[in-house]
Structure 1
Amino acid sequence: MTSFKPLVFSGVQPTGNLHLGNYLGAIRKFVALQDSHECIYCVVDLHAITAQLVHGDLAGQTRSITAAFLASGIDPKKHIVFNQARVPQHAELAWIFNCVARIGWMNRMTQFKDKAGKDRENASLGLLAYPSLMAADILLYRATHVPVGDDQKQHLELTRDIATKFNNDFSARIGELGVGVEMQVGDESVNGFFPITEPLIEGPATRVMSLREGSKKMSKSDPSDLSRINLTDDADTISKKIKKAKTDPEALPSEVEGLEGRPEAENLVGIYAALAEMTREQVLAQFGGQQFSAFKPALADLAVEKLAPIASEMRKLEADPAYIDSVLRDGGERAGVIAEDTMKSVKEIIGLLDN
């Protein structure tokens, strides 16, 4: 049985500075996947305008995300790094997927409900339909795997639903043209053009919370800069933010169960574990029984060791926008070759004439 070539696709929106949560939850995993997979990493600038059309410096934010990719260790020569708008087939395939997806599917997307809020009728059509664009991002390259967090699992399920419906609707035509791949879906062997993309979960999820309130997720939009560690923060700033992080008066417990009901303690222990690539149990075996006055300096030193070099390299890269643009241009050209080949087949399958 033939199969799809293993390929990882993922993207990051250019919406403000990246922070520690973005790094631990996504970018560090992107870097690790390079050793085992062929990877395509995209700055999804078309997604950035679904909720907010007017940006102060969308181009600058796109370059900043690219700089973060490169500074963290993503290799743009071995893999593909580009911004979405350079490859028009993303939007072209998204329109076709708008015609594949059902309105009921879109109405069930919880992120639309969260982002639209109470003023749902005033949300952009792009915000409602952006999961269809996300499906196009992935399936344009016939990606077999996508690293996902909890907040994106529903969108990957939609991607799988769209691929399944397209494959089923055009199964005869796919077979006639000989452009399909035989694959296993559950207990059934089927012939399809698009893969049923699988989630890629690398180790335990890292959920990084605000340094000012342990029950809230670390966010770019929090008005307090002390709530987050930005990837552009220098060593002194990183150290200051950790030392000012909210804690409670109790000593660190020696067992993980002792973190229950202590969100700030749980968050700082989790950050240490993620940066040191340890389990929380190992962290507490080392620091259990100690006060935060001893733990915070150790965490600050570790964070500076891991993050300050990335910040330094980002500043160097951002000072050379021409180089960043050359990386995006090269990646866009390479991505475009794959995208054009996919769209040629999609148009043949549907019966759209374009030559």
Structure 2
Amino acid sequence: MRRAGMERGEEGRGDNVASRIVMEAGCYRINQLDDPSRGRVFSGIQPTGVPHLGNYLGALESWVSLQGSYDSVLYSIVDLHAITQPQDPRQLRQNTLDMAASLLACGINPDRCVLFQQSQVSEHTELSWILGCLTSMPRLRHLPQWKMKSKQKNKGSVGLFTYPVLQAADILLYKATHVPVGEDQVQHLELAQDLARIFNNHYGELFPEPRALLSSMRKVKSLRDPTSKMSKSDPQKLATISLTDSPDDIGFKIRRAVTDFTSEVTYDPETRPGVSNLVSIHSAVSGLRVDEVVQQARGVDTGRYKQVVAEAVIQRLQPIRQEILRLRDDRAHLENILEHGAQKARELASPVLKEVRQRVGFH
């Protein structure tokens, strides 16, 4: 659950509009049309602090628009998932509040969705244990996150290994019908679909099989290595634009963005990934199509174009930045929102887990 998570497709606009869901290769791809679908959406994001530009354009904008497109929407700050990697407790608490502030500033509205902290709803972990008892170890070994992260560390915790089972529990606990994900997370959602079928076959029909929502937003690349995605963990500090970066910081980072020795502005991700990344960013923050951006930049060299892109990004992010900074100063307000969200989430989760417990034979 990507954290975030939604990406790729045609070079879309940044407008927050209702979305029509179109069946495509076993998933649903979000197109920006005006035929809202009904059902329940669930998605989670790890508490990594303030999101970056890639998180915002790749996932959070779509999260905002989904609030008006579905009968029920739940967004969780998944701190249980976060501790599969070592965490400083004080920093984890602060990162959770920073993420809450960021989501609110981006347009997540607690009156239109349920926004909550995962660890405050204990039903997640109990359902995860039950589903884990229906999951085989070979099935989990083949999932991409375990293969990638355990190889990087040359080891991996039990929590990291069973991470996808907790993801499945997050989704099934609320009988979610749709899950916004990135294409790199589709295999994890397939596990949730499999576990819904397995549980239903063992104990009777209970869980719907959730479907993936893939957005039309293109993935934002690193400003220093445009062949890789923008990432908060990138050791190069100039590679990533945070939503709380100052206008001066944004301007400096974009001026230092890697391009090439051709001065013309064109869009060709294969041969000119650096300039194409700037065009994609400009398109996303301005709401213009890629071809419109390129047309407007005709006759402008890449040095001047970087300034144009920086101005567009600053204009888009400045209100969000100011709201994040305001909300971060009101810790009690953020805690109150998360507490109320957890209460709403428990009201939805409790009867589902009660039914699960009864079917499994616990009472």
> TM-score, normalized by length of structure 2?
0.86
The residue number in structure 1 matching 2:22 is none
| 2:84 match: secondary structure | helix
The answer on 1:195 being equivalent to 2:208 is: yes
CA distance in 1, matches of 2:152, 2:274: 31
2:113 to 71, 79, 88: 79
CA distance in 1, matches of 2:88, 2:108: 29
* Conserved? CA contact 2:40–2:176, under 8 Å: yes
CA distance in 2, matches of 1:107, 1:259: 33
- 1:264-323 deviations in Å (ceiling 9; x for gaps): 111111111111223322221221442112211111111011111111100110111110
The answer on 1:130 being equivalent to 2:163 is: yes
The residue number in structure 2 matching 1:65 is 99
CA distance in 1, matches of 2:185, 2:86: 20
The residue number in structure 2 matching 1:90 is 124
The answer on 1:295 being equivalent to 2:328 is: no
| 1:231 match: secondary structure | coil
* Conserved? CA contact 2:50–2:102, under 8 Å: no
* Same amino acid, percent of matched pairs: 41
The answer on 1:9 being equivalent to 2:42 is: yes
**Alpha carbons of 1:233 and 1:160: their partners in 2 closer, same or farther (altered >3 Å)?**
same
The answer on 1:109 being equivalent to 2:143 is: yes
**Alpha carbons of 1:323 and 1:250: their partners in 2 closer, same or farther (altered >3 Å)?**
same
| Greater displacement, 64-73 / 274-283 | 274-283
Q: Using the TM superposition, give the Cα deviation of residue 253 of structure 1 relative to its aligned residue in structure 2, in angstroms.
A: 4.7
The residue number in structure 2 matching 1:176 is none
| 1:117 match: secondary structure | helix
Query: What amino acid is the match of 2:348?
Result: I
- 1:102-154 deviations in Å (ceiling 9; x for gaps): 1111011111111112554x311000000000000111110000111022111
| 1:57 match: secondary structure | helix
The residue number in structure 1 matching 2:282 is 272
The answer on 1:214 being equivalent to 2:226 is: yes
CA distance in 2, matches of 1:274, 1:314: 21
The residue number in structure 1 matching 2:248 is 236
CA distance in 2, matches of 1:250, 1:260: 15
Aligned residues: 326
1:347 to 325, 342, 357: 357
* Conserved? CA contact 2:263–2:303, under 8 Å: no
- 1:194-240 deviations in Å (ceiling 9; x for gaps): 0110111232x321111111112111111222111001112221122
2:63 to 30, 38, 41: 30
Structure 1 portions without partners, runs of 5+:
172-191
| 1:100 match: secondary structure | coil
The answer on 1:248 being equivalent to 2:289 is: no
* Conserved? CA contact 2:265–2:301, under 8 Å: no
Structure 2 portions without partners, runs of 5+:
1-37
The residue number in structure 2 matching 1:183 is none
2:202 to 147, 152, 169: 169
Q: Using the TM superposition, give the Cα deviation of residue 349 of structure 1 relative to its aligned residue in structure 2, in angstroms.
A: 1.2
**Alpha carbons of 1:251 and 1:325: their partners in 2 closer, same or farther (altered >3 Å)?**
same
Query: What amino acid is the match of 2:320?
Result: I
| 1:146 match: secondary structure | strand
> TM-score, normalized by length of structure 1?
0.88
CA distance in 2, matches of 1:278, 1:158: 37
The residue number in structure 2 matching 1:310 is 320
CA distance in 2, matches of 1:78, 1:65: 18
RMSD of equivalent CA atoms: 1.7
Query: What amino acid is the match of 2:62?
Result: K
